Structure formats: structure tokens, C-alpha cells
Structure 1
Amino acid sequence: MSELTAVEVSYDLLEKPRREAIQASAQHLLKEIDRPKAIHEKTLSLREYIWPALDAYGHDQSLPHDYELSLLPLSRIGAEQGFSGSSILLGYFKHKKNTSLFPSQPMVIKLREKCPTAFGKLSELRDELHRAERLRPYISYHKSQYALPLHISDDLPGMGYQVLWSPFALTDLVQRHQSGLSFLEAPDLRQLLKIKKGGEPSEESLKKALKVVESAFQIMGPLHKRDGTARSVSTSFHKEYEPYLRKLGEGWGSSWREIWGTQQKTSDFNICWVNPFWVLSELMARNNVLLRLGAIHGDLHPGNILYATPERPFLIDFGWADDNAHIAKDFVLLECNLRFIYFPADVSFSEVRRFAQMNAQDVAWPEDLNKRFKPRFDVIQSLRKAFLDAHGVKVDWMTEYVIPLFLVSMGLLRYVDQYTNQVAARLTVLELAQYINDNYLLQVE
């Protein structure tokens, strides 16, 4: 092989430190790819997964290896950091001079500032790499639709960022970019639901959104069932859901405790409720709860579900992935996004409350409720049906779904200032706490 020249980054809107970190990491990755049959984790060829065309080109010693990393001008590029503190970009490699050479697969590029870690603890993105590796045995039937990470740069000298690279097969993005389009809309579930810019989806968008959700959970079937090895296990809500409370007891939760207090009953919106913190305490103290454990994505919100067509979704971002966890996590987090994170703001209190009360397994659409909420209800019903299918055995709806929905909702109060409807978030938590108290805690005492 001839010597690799410096990799150019064809995008000018990144801050210099982030741009330089991506450039250094890209150079490091290409050196690995440019070796004949470079092996990653002893089993995977980086070249095969990231840039298979190099097998046809890479052994020609006479050609210079002048490569460029093109970052796609998508709405995700340069976006503000997510709840995890990471930024996500999309990009692909191409040859600067040999334009006939097929470009690489598109890649999710995850960027995170380095921070000190405790002795023996993995950095956040290296932990994501390890988590994703444990999922690999369970995605074989649909592996091209998972953007599992393959390469990380977190120890390059002088670089203040970790950079994680995850190839996936949404190649039409690259083709559209190379055809000269100056801006590409990120094809993810948020756009179909029109929850990013507000407003309710059109009938056509709703049909597509429903199909994307159905297709996403269909390809995740082997994952959730762990290729047939998923089992109902005696465990506890604390063990399964403490991370999803997002450090509720370490600071940010104090303001909510001031609002709701510590007694069994509380008052909010001039209404008497059972206190969500009292319900939380009761649930977290219970052991020997039977829950269905499989493999999960762990952070399944609309922005992590991309698609080529509604029948071909792609899953990205595996920082919360787990090969042995309660499968409801993938379903209830997506439901939280639909119920309050992206809920419209111009809604009456009574309508928001009625929507927040739809917690029973057999809930039907109330015909007298504003029809603008029907699209969200339909998507929620679709994902609930997918949960029942994934569970595969008789479901205790309260312990397997409603309580996890409450626990995840409680944790998401941490970011309530960022939601389009803060009242919806608050009412969802209050109504779930009341429902659990009336239909579970009072029944098992």
C-alpha cells in the first residue's frame, strides 16, 4: 500500500476542535481499513462493513490514497448535544481523485468530549462499543439495519474528544448527496410525525409513521426475544430501572420533591393525587417481580429510528443497549416521546389530562376527544401491540408495561424544560402514579 495522505473533511460549519478530532479519528480509522483484510475484534472486517469497494482498488500500489470524509448536511449535523451529552453526525468516505470508486457506507459519527473516568471504568463511547458487541449475536437476521459501532478513537494524543464510528446501509443518502443536493432532510421518525417543528401529521405521514414503527419492532423481534432465549425472571424494579430514573435522588429531583412533598397524598393543579414519590418508593422496595428479559436497544426514541422506506428502518445510537434487560424499555421510552416530549403545546388542560389517562391495556379511542390526537394514539397502540407480540407469553400489563412507563416518565422529568408540553409530562406522571396506586399497590397490600 502507498502511504495514506491526510484525510480532508468537507464540512466547514464545525467548531475547530471538533473538526480536528473527527479528522484525526478518520485518519486512524482509514489506516485500519487500508490494511488488507483488517480484522476488528478478531471476527469482523472493517473494510467489509465500512468500505467494501476498497478490495477492488486498494491493492493497486500505483494509485495515491487520497481520501475525503464528507459530512452530510443533514438536520442532525452539528445539532445540540442530546441528553447523553454526545453529538451525532453522519458522513462517508470517498476518493478525492478516483471518482468512479464507490464511496463507503454512510456512518453515524458520535462525538463526545473526554472526561475523567473512575479507575477501571470504561469511557462512555467505549462502553457503547462493548454494549453493541453483546447485541451482535441477536441481530443476524436484520444486521444491515442496525448501525452498530465498529471503531472508536478515544486515546489519540492531543485529542479532547472520543469519536465512535458506526456504518449502516442507508446508501441512498450518499447517492443523493453526490447527485448535488445541497441539503438533505434526516429521514427519521421525528420528521414523519412532524413533532420536531410542531403540528400534527398528515394522514399520509401518519400511515408512513405507523409502518416505520411496525417495521422497526418487526426487525427487533429476534433481538427482544434474544433468538428464542428470552425468559421471565424474578428480579426487581430497582435493578432494572434505577438508571432510567436518571439520578433522580442526586439533585435535580429536589425541586419536584418541594412541589409534591413526601406524604402519601399531594396536591397539584388544585387536584388531589397520590404522591408519585410515594409510589416510586413503594415500587423500588419490591423484590421478586417477574419481568420478561431479552436484548434491547435501550434508547429507542424517534430520532434514533431512521428509514429508507417505511419498510426499511435503521436503528442508531446504542449507548443504552443491553443483552439481558427488561424488553419493555424499548417500548415505553418511545411512548413517552409520543405522550409528552413532543406533544403539542396548544392543548387544553382537560384534553391533555384525558390523553394522560389512557393507561389500560384495552383502552379505546374516545370519539369525543379532539381528533388531532388520534395519530399519536394510533402509533402508541401500534407499539403496544408490538410489545405484546414481542413478549410472547401472557402479560401482566401492570408490572410489565404500566409501571415501567411510570418509572421512565419519572426519570424524564429531568429534562422537562426542553419539552414542547411540560403540562403533559407532569400529568402523565401524576396519572400513572394514581393508576398504579389504585390498580396495583392497593390490590397487593
Structure 2
Amino acid sequence: MAKRLKVKLETKLLLPKQRKALQEAADELYNMMQNGEGNFISKIWPTFNENITTPSLHIETLNRLGGEPGRTGNLVLAGRFVSTKYKDMLPSRPMIIKISPEPGMEGASKSRKWLLDEYKASENLYDQFSDSAHFALPVWVHGKEGGRNPVVLWAPLESRNPPYGNIRLQQAVDFMTSSSRLYFEDEREKILYRIISVTENLFEAHCVRNKTHREEVNIINHYEWELRKTLKHVVWVKAWKNLWGNKEKVVDFDRKDWPNPFFICKKLYEKVSFPLRMGHIHGDLHPRNIVFSKDETPRIIDFGWARPVKRGDSLQHIIKDFVLLEANFRFMTLPPFLAYESMKHFNKWLSIENDPVLTGDRECDLRMNLIYRLRNIAKQHVGDSTNWDVEYIVPLFLVSFGLLTKHSCNADCSWAARYTVLSLADYIKEKNIV
């Protein structure tokens, strides 16, 4: 039996049972590589050899990776195996490691099942996201259904060429927030444009592999998850209900009458259905789920939402991936010092048919150019003529409204989130979509 792995962790990141589960999972995975089981060597550690008897698992922490758990409650870490005996030996590929909460914690059972289901869906993911070098797809899970111990999911970041372990993991969000001022602006802009290019790698999932088609969809029901129960009186919605009420018009920025976003949602619900382009999606494409390798190649991680949210939903609206990323560019990652007039100008540009007119504000102009490129890729993925106000702007409104009610207090520019949602509601009303 191989010696026990020495897992190097920052103790503040893991509770005792999470640490124990990670230790046991690392031991088991290492022993399977020793025994040549499965394809773990090729997927995880191509330079592995049986003489490695004293490896260690190094855990690296990034912003969310190892920080605040995501919505499912699972902790996300980055790690890799390293040989402690053979110093010149290349380490394993970096791995995204997800760990469910400790037993007894709120949502622990649901989070554990989420990771087990994510692993079960991974076989289909490899078919949908065929060029796996662009993605971190699950290869193994430690834990059982009905068990009480934390579940550990392993997803390596593949690389076509060595050195496999020389990959710097840095989240895209690091280049978008105020802390990104640490980088030279030209370098930062180049990297940000690569964030957009990552959506091109989703083309097969969106279109080719699944014979994408149009389907009549009740758009409110289809985007119910993204709305985060906005239409119901859950805790984080009450403040917005108190602010805007149920009237058709509300007074907000510039003492102007704006269409009430809740009223627009109600009218969209009454619209019954729209013909939308359906395919397979990532489902949670935002800057914290895009990491950069050392050569600044963007990779997509965290495929927990890349399966149907509800039973029977075989395909999803492919525009979801684009509008979530756009909403993050528009307000979730804005610097707090953004000028109000620049934001107003930014939100005058909503139509997907028009080119942006730049503001002169570097942060706004950069984001407008990013969104313009993102929308052009979306047009390629949809692939035919459509009503872009329905296909794109309405979903952008719904996703933005959901982010506003749930996350605006965490954004540097919560007022920008509110302004964006009101502007989109105004646009939808003006265009007589509802």
C-alpha cells in the first residue's frame, strides 16, 4: 500500500470533516493511479510513474476558488499533485476540486447530491464539450449517495502540451474589478478580450453536436431559475417590492417615470411563449468561472449547471450563456468610481442591432467593446434571422433582474445594476415587446 498522501492546506479553508474527506479522496485517487486504473494518469498526471511513493497534494487558493462558496454551497479549490522525492518531475495538471459542506450544515445534503449528479452527467458533457482542452470537466468523484461525509469532485485542466504543472490559475474577474488596476492597461485589455473568445469554444455544445432547433418557450418559466424567485416574496426581493411596488410606473433615477420591472415580468408571463434557439449550455458563464493559464489561454470551469435544471428539459436557450456574461460586464464587475453620466450613456446602447457609441470613459468603453464582440459571437451561434429584442434583450433583462435582487449588495456598483434593469425595462416597453 502506498504511503499516505500529505495534503498541504490552509487550515482556515477546510473544516475537519472536509479535510478528512479530501485526504481520503486524494489517497484513493493516488492508489488508483498506482494500480493503473481508469484513465486517471492520462487525464490528471501524464508524467506519473509507479516510483512516486511520497507525493503531496498542493492546494492553491484564488478569489472564489478556496474562498466564498458558490450558490450550491460547495467549496471550490485548485490543486495539483507534486512529487516530493523527484524534484525535477513535472507535477500533475492543475485540478479544480469541489467539496460539499460538512454534515449538519445548511444545505449539506443537497450540495452533496449536486456534486454526485454533476459527476453522473459528466459522460454526456464530454460528448457535448468535445474539445476538453478548453474546459475543466469532471473525471472522478469521492463519496456515495446516502452517505453523510462530504463529497469531493475532481476536474483537471487539460493541456495539449507539457509542462502540465506550469499553469498559472487566475480568474477572469481579477482583471475586471478595481484590483485589476495593478496590471498595465494594455495587457489587461488584451486579456479581457480573450474572455470573450472563450465563448467561441462553446459553439459545438450550442449548435453542432445537438442539432439545435427553435422551440416555443414560456420565457418566464424558462428563466425562472435565473430570476431567482424574483416574482415571489423571498427575503432579498422584499426591499425591491417595497421600493417599486406593483404599479405600472415607478419614479426612480432623475425623478423620471420608469416602467416597473415587476410589471414587465408580469406582462412577459402573460405573453405565453416565444420561439427561442435551444441547445446545450454551460449555464453559469461568468468571470469567476473562467480561469487563465500561464500563457493567458482562458479555460471554463464549474460545469454544475451544464445539465438540465428540471427533469424533461433536454435543451436550454443558448443565449443564457451570453446574457449572463454581458450582465457581469454591465454592472457586476464595474469599478465603484464610475461616473454617473458615463453609466447613463452606456445604458442608452441596448439594441443588439446597433453599434456602440463610445463614452470617452475607459472602463465603460472597454466593456462596450467587449459586449459588442460577445454579441457578434452570439449571432453566429444563433445562426439565423430572429427578433433580437426577444431572443437577446428580454433574456438580458430577466438575468439582470435576477442578479439585481440577489447580488446587487455585493457589487461595487449596485446603483448601476438598478439603472441597467430599469433601462432594459424601459427598452422592452418602448419596443412594444409586451
TM-score (norm 2): 0.87
Q: Answer whether contact 1:192 1:201 (CA < 8 A) is retained.
A: no
In the other structure, the counterpart of 1:247 is: 229
Find the aligned partners of 2:182 and 2:94 in 1 and give their Cα distance: 31
For 2:400, the aligned partner's letter is S
Find the aligned partners of 2:269 and 2:33 in 1 and give their Cα distance: 47
2:324 equivalent to 1:333: yes
In the other structure, the counterpart of 1:232 is: 214
Find the aligned partners of 1:144 and 1:12 in 2 and give their Cα distance: 29
Segments of structure 2 that go 5 or more residues without pairing to the other structure are 308-313
Find the aligned partners of 1:228 and 1:158 in 2 and give their Cα distance: 35
In the other structure, the counterpart of 1:392 is: 383
2:95 equivalent to 1:107: yes
Find the aligned partners of 2:368 and 2:57 in 1 and give their Cα distance: 42
2:59 equivalent to 1:71: yes
Cα RMSD (Å): 2.9
Q: Answer whether contact 2:7 2:56 (CA < 8 A) is retained.
A: yes
Alpha-carbon distance change, 235 to 197 in structure 1, aligned in 2, over 3 angstroms: same
Find the aligned partners of 1:121 and 1:419 in 2 and give their Cα distance: 25
Q: Answer whether contact 1:212 1:311 (CA < 8 A) is retained.
A: no
In the other structure, the counterpart of 2:156 is: 167
**Count of aligned pairs between the two proteins:** 418
For 2:251, the aligned partner's letter is S
The CA deviation at 1:35 is 3.0
Q: Answer whether contact 2:142 2:151 (CA < 8 A) is retained.
A: yes
Find the aligned partners of 1:120 and 1:348 in 2 and give their Cα distance: 42
Q: Answer whether contact 1:244 1:411 (CA < 8 A) is retained.
A: yes
Q: Answer whether contact 2:345 2:359 (CA < 8 A) is retained.
A: no
Aligned to 1:65, the other structure's residue is in SS state coil
Q: Which moved more, 1:268-277 or 1:65-74?
A: 65-74
The CA deviation at 1:436 is 0.8
The CA deviation at 1:173 is 7.4
Identity of aligned residues (%): 30
- Please point out which of 417, 431, 434 is paired with 1:439: 431
The CA deviation at 1:117 is 7.4
Q: Answer whether contact 2:96 2:301 (CA < 8 A) is retained.
A: yes
Q: Answer whether contact 1:172 1:308 (CA < 8 A) is retained.
A: no
The CA deviation at 1:102 is 3.8
In the other structure, the counterpart of 1:143 is: 132
Alpha-carbon distance change, 88 to 340 in structure 1, aligned in 2, over 3 angstroms: same
Q: Answer whether contact 2:177 2:333 (CA < 8 A) is retained.
A: no
Alpha-carbon distance change, 75 to 350 in structure 1, aligned in 2, over 3 angstroms: closer
Find the aligned partners of 1:90 and 1:367 in 2 and give their Cα distance: 38
Aligned to 1:105, the other structure's residue is in SS state coil
- Please point out which of 240, 264, 267 is paired with 1:256: 240
In the other structure, the counterpart of 2:269 is: 284
Aligned to 1:85, the other structure's residue is in SS state coil
In the other structure, the counterpart of 1:300 is: 285
The CA deviation at 1:112 is 2.5
For 1:268, the aligned partner's letter is D
Find the aligned partners of 2:403 and 2:110 in 1 and give their Cα distance: 29
Aligned to 2:315, the other structure's residue is in SS state strand
Find the aligned partners of 1:190 and 1:66 in 2 and give their Cα distance: 36
2:421 equivalent to 1:429: yes
Find the aligned partners of 2:108 and 2:411 in 1 and give their Cα distance: 32
Find the aligned partners of 2:361 and 2:120 in 1 and give their Cα distance: 46
- Please point out which of 74, 83, 93 is paired with 1:86: 74
Q: Answer whether contact 1:212 1:310 (CA < 8 A) is retained.
A: no
Segments of structure 1 that go 5 or more residues without pairing to the other structure are 39-44, 177-183
For 1:264, the aligned partner's letter is E
User: Cα deviations across residues 403-443 of structure 1 (Å, max 9, x unaligned)?
Assistant: 1101111111211110010010001111111111111335x
The CA deviation at 1:299 is 0.8
In the other structure, the counterpart of 2:311 is: none
In the other structure, the counterpart of 1:365 is: 356
In the other structure, the counterpart of 1:125 is: 115
Q: Answer whether contact 2:173 2:333 (CA < 8 A) is retained.
A: no
- Please point out which of 162, 170, 194 is paired with 1:211: 194
Find the aligned partners of 1:380 and 1:47 in 2 and give their Cα distance: 40
Q: Answer whether contact 1:86 1:112 (CA < 8 A) is retained.
A: yes
Q: Answer whether contact 1:21 1:159 (CA < 8 A) is retained.
A: no
Alpha-carbon distance change, 73 to 254 in structure 1, aligned in 2, over 3 angstroms: closer
Find the aligned partners of 1:169 and 1:202 in 2 and give their Cα distance: 29
Aligned to 2:432, the other structure's residue is in SS state helix
- Please point out which of 44, 47, 60 is paired with 2:41: 47
For 1:191, the aligned partner's letter is D
The CA deviation at 1:310 is 7.0
In the other structure, the counterpart of 2:310 is: none
Alpha-carbon distance change, 196 to 162 in structure 1, aligned in 2, over 3 angstroms: farther
Q: Which moved more, 1:117-126 or 1:323-332?
A: 117-126
Q: Answer whether contact 2:90 2:164 (CA < 8 A) is retained.
A: no
Aligned to 1:175, the other structure's residue is in SS state coil
Q: Answer whether contact 1:94 1:102 (CA < 8 A) is retained.
A: yes
In the other structure, the counterpart of 1:10 is: 8
Find the aligned partners of 1:201 and 1:131 in 2 and give their Cα distance: 41
For 1:124, the aligned partner's letter is W
In the other structure, the counterpart of 1:190 is: 173
Alpha-carbon distance change, 239 to 354 in structure 1, aligned in 2, over 3 angstroms: same
For 1:241, the aligned partner's letter is Y
The CA deviation at 1:261 is 0.4
Alpha-carbon distance change, 156 to 87 in structure 1, aligned in 2, over 3 angstroms: same
The CA deviation at 1:103 is 2.6
For 1:213, the aligned partner's letter is I
The CA deviation at 1:208 is 2.8
